[in-house]
Structure 1
Amino acid sequence: MTVEINTFVADRLDTFMDDLETLVNIDSSSDNPAGIAAVARFLGKRLEAIGFSSRLEKLGGRGVPCLQAQNRPPADRFDILFLGHMDTVFPQGEVDARPFAVDGGRATGPGVCDMKGGLLVALHALETLHHRGVLEHLAVGVCFNGDEEVGSEASRGWIETHARNSDRVFVFEPCRPGFRFVLARKGGGGFRIAARGVSAHAGAEPEKGANAALEIAHQAIAIARFNDQAPEGTSAHVTVIRGGEKTNIIPDEAQASVDVRVARKIDVAPVEAFFNSLPAHTHVPGVTLSVSGGVGRPPMESDHRALQLWRQFEAEAATMGLDIACISTGGCSDGNFTSAQGVPTVDGMGLVGANAHRRDEYVELSSIVPQIRLIASVCQAIARRNPPV
């Protein structure tokens, strides 16, 4: 069967390339619902052709387009949930500036790596399973959202609900060079620290002022020192500072934004406690602080069930002669949400590529066939353990 899967996938390489060009050449930034919906319609139509029911959801106050599909009735539990996102970080008009292109063994274009390539790996793996008759013995759900790049605020609950109704989750974010998949991710969040002081003439009577910018500087140093004593895998970095209007005025307002990452769920509470304590530890008389924010994405931690799932990938890769590995990364994905629900999650199932969110982002074309083969083979192995329907 593995040989037949390989032949089917290899014979459809030209189709995959045509599909990749089509999707990459659709502008679908997070603030472009029309473009995201166009991607969803393309994928939904193909899924329906292999027996899936699909629905375009409009989630949240902004009506974020999200594609939900399944090959079984809604009441059934999913053996596998395929998870991915249809939005990119690139603005409207990016495709006109640098459309899909192939240069040697690489393809480039807006979102080719993150994650139009991954969406198509998922689609072609399912089409392969349909061809082999495997979907008759496997319940698969598909959730492709349209706001991952801006935090998945509208789609988070939708994703978590479907994850809780699934036995395992495959996330089609990019695979790292060398076929390195992702089994753990840091949790992420952010804090905004706002200082309010008193303005005054910086030259004539500075003593009448309370310098909000100076207070923010003190807090930035305190946050840097926190890193020295924070739990391993935890980081907090001041990334944006704003304050003041004119050079001759003591600023009465200033703000700082802080990026936070945590490796373990148990470290979330201490980090949030530190930031919430900052208003009680000011340094400039007359200045008050307020803090907002938190760790919005929980860490993705690999437990014994996730490792068990990973062993299935290793076993199937070995039969293919494919050398794969798993890594931990500081970047977040929607896999953080599914893992936090206690569902075994393997991430990085898209095409092998790099430089996500950059204009030199690329995917390795040599990874197309082996990646689809691997995922289809793992799904087939899972289906063998299911009773006939």
Structure 2
Amino acid sequence: MSGLSAIERDLVDHVRAAPMLARTERWVAINSGTRNLAGVAAMGATLADAFAALPGDVALVAPDAVDSVSTEGEVRAIGHGHHLHLTVRPDAPVQLLFTGHMDTVFGADHPFQQARWLDDGTLNAPGAADMKGGLALMLAALEAVEASPVADRFGYEVVINSDEETGSLSSAGLIARAAAGKRAALTYEPALPDGTLAGARGGTGNFSIVVRGRSAHAGRNPDDGRNAIVAAAALAVRLAAGKDDGLSVNPARIDGGGPNNVVPDLAILRVNFRPRSVDAIARADTLLDEAIAAVTAAHDVAIARHGSFNRPPKPIDPGAERLFALVAAAGSDLGIPVSWRATGGVCDGNNIAACGVPVIDTMGARGGAIHSADEFLIPDSLPERAALSAVTIHRLVTQGLS
């Protein structure tokens, strides 16, 4: 660590003494599946207490309203948990953003609820890597910088949302407001087990397409009916055929139907798009419009489209390249190899980049098998990655991204 300044060596010592693993173990014991609103509330309150160790104002912010299409084809409001928002020194000359999420993909009734230590020394627990370990090391890094001589030279906002795993629909506005005017942002999704970071990301869009036909007796007068299931299936086939190198299309589910002797008059097609560019979003929009029009005419049904492209693609632009270079240099001075590669996954880093703010969105712990009962955290990565964050923050404040 010969390339580190005296202040940076003190930062490393500070984070190594932080109780990151103990915090992580406490936090993974709280089920905070996105739809478990009681569990998310408990997690939010716990995090608010922990982040109150930092100066500034901590608040639990009400979610924005979000609609969802039910299996009956009705548009209904869907509940979300509150989001943690911390603002520190908003008038300081350098402003940064730090984001993470408190929710997991494991609901209150999911069998994966308990932490256990594996023989290889990793921690198998719900949300250990994605991302309660990341939240613990984010807090440790900020506590270390707050104890350093550069603390009064920068301000920041922390957003920890409760709905990242379902698309951040109720927190996207809060993230966009917090991103405004920031020099850079760090998000604490997990790195890969070998430490590789995510570089460019594609975007995503999720749609529920409601098809309304006409019911009839399947034996006596089927031709008087308009089969919504058949129309939805035809729509799924048309959309799937529209994929190309820059756009993947996944018709994932059709809800609807009923007794075998009734022509079904309702179906809801759920489909996911993964565009790699803004141009691909435009192509997907055209594909949707043309496919809906064609199926409407061919099957004499009514079709309503619900949903949006909620995460734009995240390219590696010049600002992101400079931020990656700064993090790589910090890693080199710490003896931590830093590399990155493109990924098809999406996260809040997509939304932040769309605001014009350079962001690295895998500054969290090293781990793997996320979104499964095999999820694991590599404990030694907590002090390692907290040190990387602390030195990165120090250099963003003292050197910038020039």
Structure-2-length-normalised TM-score: 0.87
1:71 and 2:88 equivalent?
A: yes
Alignment correspondent of 1:263: 276
- Give 1:183-222 correspondences, 5 Å limit: 183-222=199-238
Partner in structure 2 of residue 146 of structure 1: 162
> Would the aligned equivalents of 2:80 and 2:162 in 1 still touch at CA under 8 Å?
no
Q: Which of the pair is proportionally richer in helix?
A: 1
Match of 2:27 in 1: 23
Would the alpha carbon gap of residues 269 and 117 (structure 1) be closer, same or farther in structure 2, given more than 3 Å must change? same
What's 1:110 paired with?
A: 126
Displacement of 1:221 after TM fit?
Answer: 1.7
- Give 1:7's aligned residue: 13
Q: Secondary structure at the match of 1:99?
A: coil
What is the 5 A alignment of 1:116-155?
116-155=132-171
Q: Which amino acid aligns with 2:114?
A: P
1:118-164 alpha-carbon deviations (Å, 9 max, x no partner): 11110011122223333233222211111222222222111101101
Q: How does 1:324-339 map to 2 (within 5 A)?
A: 324-339=338-353
How many residues get paired? 379
C-alpha RMSD over aligned residues:
2.3
The 5 A counterparts of 1:1-389 are: 1=6, 2-12=8-18, 15-61=19-65, 62=79, 64-72=81-89, 74-76=90-92, 79-92=95-108, 98-103=113-118, 104-227=120-243, 230=244, 232-282=245-295, 284-385=298-399
Q: Which residue type is aligned with residue 5 of structure 1?
A: L
Q: State the shift of 1:376 in Å.
A: 0.8
Q: CA deviation at 1:276?
A: 1.7
- TM-superposed deviation, 1:379: 1.1
Displacement of 1:6? 3.2
Relative distance call for 1:165 and 1:211 in structure 2 (3 A) is same
Any gaps of 5 or more consecutive residues in structure 2? 1-5, 66-78
Q: 2: CA distance between counterparts of 1:78 and 1:266?
A: 34
What CA deviation, in whole Å up to 9, does each residue of 1:208-246 have, x standing for no partner? 33322222222222112101xx3x331111100133212
8 Å CA contact retained: 2:117, 2:124:
yes
Assess, with a 3 A threshold, how the Cα gap between structure 1 residues 291 and 320 changes in structure 2: closer, same or farther: same
> For the residues of structure 2 that align with 1:27 and 1:183, how far apart are their CA atoms?
30
CA deviation after TM superposition for structure 1 residue 60, in Å: 2.8
- Residues 124 and 376, structure 2, Cα contact 8 Å, conserved in 1: yes
> Aligned equivalents of 1:133 and 1:25: distance in 2?
36
Give the Cα separation in 1 of the matches to 2:42 and 2:202: 32
- Shift, 1:114, TM fit: 1.4
Q: Relative to structure 1, is the Cα distance of residues 286 and 70 closer, same or farther in structure 2, using a 3 angstrom cutoff?
A: closer
User: CA separation in 2, counterparts of 1:40 and 1:77?
Assistant: 30
Q: Which moved further from structure 2: 2-11 or 173-182? A: 2-11
- Summarize the Cα distance change of 1:175–1:291 in structure 2 as closer, same or farther, 3 Å threshold: same
| Unaligned ranges ≥5, structure 1 | none
- The AA in structure 2 aligned to 1:332 is V
